Copies of this chain bind each other. A is one copy, B any other.
């Protein structure tokens, strides 16, 4: 049986630098599909392009318009290939125009001196020790994730009582479980509820406008994760006149940093 994420990621080659895809009801959001899946599709086009060299190091996706449910075309073009790095431009188009722009940097990595200045979260209960957040009544895409909150779940009381911060720590993985790879990790980078929901305890209208992910894991490290949970820390930074940003880290269960990510989000009111 095909995993729903693989269905959502399925792209059919459609000529030079072009691929045909379609949104997936399994990842439906309030309007159109979950943005994490769309970001993963942009990366997937690069990864399955015949000119691809290396593994993703950096990805930025800009959500130019709400995707309509249905088919889309991805254009993925290598604009510069160096000895060890490769730079890509990606666009997703629908009949109404460009709905997403993206840039990706791929690299052939070599073993070097390595270190991590960030401390992995300590004293965190194992994923198995925390019940998954109930998703039955939630949007389709939320049901595609197993989320286990150590702290900072979506507040049950959306009473508009502001909280002093918007931090969450959670275990998360695809549901059903699926081996982690770069597209799945990309989608996880967008699987945090918008920080303003927690900060204001209110569901104000929002939409991510730009998301950046830096991949610290290479394919070998990702393969070691299998289909287990990753541990994420996420926080809000600043909310000002219609736009806020949030940043997050995704860790392996054994304390290796897999990715860092930031995004800026439009909000109304």
Contacts and interface: CB of A to CB of B under 8 A. Distances in A.
Contacts of A112: 241-242, 267-269
B114 A98 contact: no
A54 to B, nearest CB: 11
Interface stretch (A22-30, A44-52, A99-107, A174-182): A99-107
Contacts of A111: 241
B57 A243 contact: yes
B58 A115 contact: no
A62 B87 contact: yes
A57 B265 CA distance: 10
Interface string A157-182: 00000101110000000000000000
A103 B238 CA distance: 21
A230 to B, nearest CB: 15
A129 interface: no
A237 B107 contact: no
Interface in A61-117: 62, 64-65, 79-80, 82, 84-85, 87, 89, 91, 97-99, 101-103, 105, 107, 109-117
B109 A264 contact: no
A257 B242 contact: no
A55 to B, nearest CB: 10
Chain copies in the assembled complex? 2
B80 A113 contact: no
Interface string A2-15: 00000000000000
Interface string A195-238: 10001100000000110101010100000000000000001111
Contacts of A89: 89, 101
B242 A105 contact: no
B107 A80 contact: no
A16 to B, nearest CB: 17
A145 interface: no
A243 B80 contact: no
A67 to B, nearest CB: 12
B65 A105 contact: no
A38 interface: no
Contacts of A249: 237
A82 to B, nearest CB: 7
Contacts of A262: 212, 214, 247, 260, 262
